[in-house]
């Protein structure tokens, strides 16, 4: 019995040795075998990583204040524009009225300030006009006063001409008197006597008129006339001085107390308007950018708490790939602008081109390893991509580029 067991054990040992020898002989390399790497393998300097497809922008939205949902203004799949309301709380109507009231107060306060400033400008303009008129009147009065004074009533050539005309008029009067003396004894109804008398009277009038003019040119005002001239000049000067004082009082100035009140009222109205607009904005949920609503987790009438995500919006106009397991050894070799290829588990026959857009500078611990996030831009966007598709990224680092 023991001999049979020993024999069986020996046969098994021999068989095992024979199998090991055959395996070793089969594993020996064939000197003629082709050692070129498979063309399907990535280059030796390539950085490979898993990733996921993400939209160019996405946002998780929550309300800043709590309340009952009054309206849900968008549904999943709706395209929305930046600022478009998505959700409105029941308090929005009351807050809208508060904004309108605050806007009216703001307009009223601004109008009051503008009116105060406009009134000051009008007063300044009126004072300026009054001063200009007073100065013009003073110039006219000074001229009249000056030309009434002795030696200033006429130029020397005007006086000389007046003296010559007066002498001629006296000579003509003398001749007319001589002629009249020859016919003065005739009857009053004598035509010749009447004609000569008419010429005599005309000569007298002309001589008297020229005499008065010459006397005025060479004379001086009477005491009464001079007193009137002096009074008129003093009045005109006083009017100018009063105009200057009035203009200086209102020029570029507003009553400081009234201005302070108007400015404070406007500032208060502005603060109330901003507060009302902020409260209204917090009672509405709006799209942060152009995109598509991917989900809204709300129902009308439901009470929502502030800060709880209730809607999600994404911009699918472009796509990115975000790595999920880029290790620290590979991350140091990846630079912005590096090219890459991307394959997708869901689309195995599609190979996309990508460019590194960013590489995070902060590593995260994942399952005991430090990983960094790289984001790659797909060029061009592929229409069949979906959010969070798994991807396989092969980055070809440009090792000559500066870090």
Residue 332 has pLDDT above 50, yes or no: yes
Q: What is the pLDDT of residue 43?
A: 66
Q: What is the pLDDT of residue 121?
A: 78
Confidence of residue 30 (pLDDT cuts 50, 70, 90): very low
> What is the 3-class SS of the chain, one letter each residue?
CHHHHHHHHHHHHHHHHHHHHHHHHHHCCCCCCCCCCCCCCCCCCCEEEEEEEEEEEEEEEECCCCEEEEEECCCCCCEECCCCEEEEECCHHHHHHHHHHHHHHHHHHHHHHHHHHHHHHHHHHHHHHHHHHHHHHHHHHHHHHHHCCCCCCCCHHHHHHHHHHHHHHHHHHHHHHHHHHHHCCCCCCCHHHHHHHHHHHHHHHHHHHHHHHHHHHHCCCCHHHHHHHHHHHHHHHHHHHHHHHHHHHHCCCCCHHHHHHHHHHHHHHHHHHHHHHHHHHHCEEECCCCEEEEEECCCCCCEECCCCEEEEEEEEEEEEEEECCEEHHHHCCCCCCCEEEEEECCCCCCEEEEEEEEECCCCEEECCEEEECEEEEEECCCCCCCCCCEEEEEEECCCCCCC
Q: What are phi and psi of 286, to 5 degrees?
A: -120, 155
Cβ atoms within 10 A of the Cβ of 203, count? 21
Q: What is the pLDDT of residue 399?
A: 56
Round to whole Å and give the CA distance between 76 and 179: 129
| Strand 309-323 with 364-366, pairing | unpaired
- The reply to whether CATH 2.40.50.100 applies to domain 60-89+284-310 is yes
Round to whole Å and give the CA distance between 2 and 21: 29
Residue-wise pLDDT tens digits, 137-193: 999 998 888 888 887 788 888 888 988 998 999 999 999 999 989 888 888 888 888
Cβ atoms within 10 A of the Cβ of 390, count? 13
Q: What is the pLDDT of residue 25?
A: 46
Listed in sequence order, the residues at least 6 apart from 336 whose beta carbon sits closer than 8 Å to its beta carbon are: 356, 357, 358, 359
117 vs 29, higher pLDDT = 117
Residue 69's nearest CA partner among 285, 264, 357 is: 285
Residue-wise pLDDT tens digits, 336-349: 999 999 999 999 89
Alpha carbon distances (Å) from 163 to 52, 175, 208, 310: 119, 19, 12, 111
Q: What is the pLDDT of residue 367?
A: 84
Residue-wise pLDDT tens digits, 73-115: 999 999 999 999 999 998 888 888 888 998 999 899 888 888 8
Residue-wise pLDDT tens digits, 342-388: 999 999 899 999 999 999 999 999 888 899 999 999 987 788 899 99
Topology at the third CATH level for domain 92-149+221-282 = 1.20.120
Residue 10 has pLDDT above 80, yes or no: no
Q: What is the pLDDT of residue 335?
A: 93
Residue 403 has pLDDT above 80, yes or no: no
Residue-wise pLDDT tens digits, 33-53: 444 444 455 666 789 999 999
Round to whole Å and give the CA distance between 250 and 125: 9
Range of lowest pLDDT (214-223, 229-238, 350-359): 214-223
Residue-wise pLDDT tens digits, 178-218: 998 988 888 888 888 899 989 999 999 999 999 888 888 88
Residue-wise pLDDT tens digits, 239-260: 999 988 888 877 766 777 777 8
Residue 62's nearest CA partner among 36, 42, 89 is: 89
Q: What is the pLDDT of residue 39?
A: 47
Q: What is the pLDDT of residue 1?
A: 41
Q: What is the pLDDT of residue 252?
A: 65
Confidence of residue 17 (pLDDT cuts 50, 70, 90): low
Cβ-contact 298, 19 below 8 angstroms: no
Round to whole Å and give the CA distance between 88 and 398: 51
Q: What is the pLDDT of residue 393?
A: 95
Superfamily of domain 40-56+317-396 in CATH is Efflux pump adaptor protein, beta barrel domain (2.40.30.170)
254 vs 286, higher pLDDT = 286
312 vs 397, higher pLDDT = 312
Residue 11 has pLDDT above 80, yes or no: no
Q: What is the pLDDT of residue 7?
A: 45
Confidence of residue 220 (pLDDT cuts 50, 70, 90): confident
121 vs 289, higher pLDDT = 289
Q: What is the pLDDT of residue 24?
A: 43
- For the full predicted model, state whether its pTM sits above 0.75: no
């Amino acid at each position: 019995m023991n001999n049979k067991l020993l024999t069986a054990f020996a046969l098994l040992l021999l068989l095992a040795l024979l199998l090991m020898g055959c395996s070793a002989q089969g594993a020996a390399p064939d000197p003629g075998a082709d050692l070129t790497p498979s063309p399907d393998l990535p280059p030796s300097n390539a950085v490979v990583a898993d990733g996921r497809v993400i939209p160019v922008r996405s946002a998780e939205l929550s309300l800043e204040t709590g309340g009952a949902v009054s309206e849900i203004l968008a549904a999943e799949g709706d395209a929305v524009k930046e600022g478009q309301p998505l959700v409105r709380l029941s308090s929005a109507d009351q807050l809208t009225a508060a904004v309108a009231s605050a806007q009216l107060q703001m307009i009223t306060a601004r109008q009051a300030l503008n009116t105060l400033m406009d009134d000051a400008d009008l007063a300044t303009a009126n004072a300026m006009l009054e001063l200009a008129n007073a100065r013009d009147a003073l110039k006219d009065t000074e001229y009249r006063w000056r030309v009434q004074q002795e030696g200033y009533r006429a130029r020397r050539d005007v006086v000389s001409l007046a003296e010559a005309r007066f002498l001629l008029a006296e000579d003509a009067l003398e001749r007319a008197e001589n002629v009249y003396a020859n016919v003065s004894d005739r009857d009053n109804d004598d035509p010749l006597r009447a004609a000569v008398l008419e010429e005599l009277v005309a000569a007298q009038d002309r001589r008297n008129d020229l005499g008065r003019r010459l006397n005025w040119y060479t004379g001086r005002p009477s005491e009464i006339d001079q007193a009137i001239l002096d009074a008129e000049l003093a009045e005109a000067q006083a009017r100018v001085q009063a105009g200057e004082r009035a203009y200086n009082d209102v020029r570029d100035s507003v009553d400081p107390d009234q201005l302070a009140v108007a400015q404070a009222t406007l500032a208060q109205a502005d603060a109330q308007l901003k507060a009302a607009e902020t409260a209204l904005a917090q009672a509405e949920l709006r799209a942060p950018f152009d995109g598509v609503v991917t989900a809204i987790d709300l129902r009308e009438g439901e009470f929502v708490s502030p800060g709880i995500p209730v809607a999600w919006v994404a911009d699918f106009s472009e796509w990115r790939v975000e790595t999920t397991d880029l290790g620290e050894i590979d991350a140091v070799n990846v630079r912005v602008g590096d090219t890459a290829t991307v394959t997708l588990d869901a689309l195995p026959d599609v190979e996309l081109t990508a460019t590194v857009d960013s590489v995070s500078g902060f590593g995260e611990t994942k399952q005991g390893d430090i990983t960094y996030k790289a984001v790659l831009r797909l060029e061009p966007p592929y229409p069949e991509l979906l959010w969070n598709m798994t991807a396989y990224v092969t980055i070809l680092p440009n090792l000559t580029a500066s870090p």
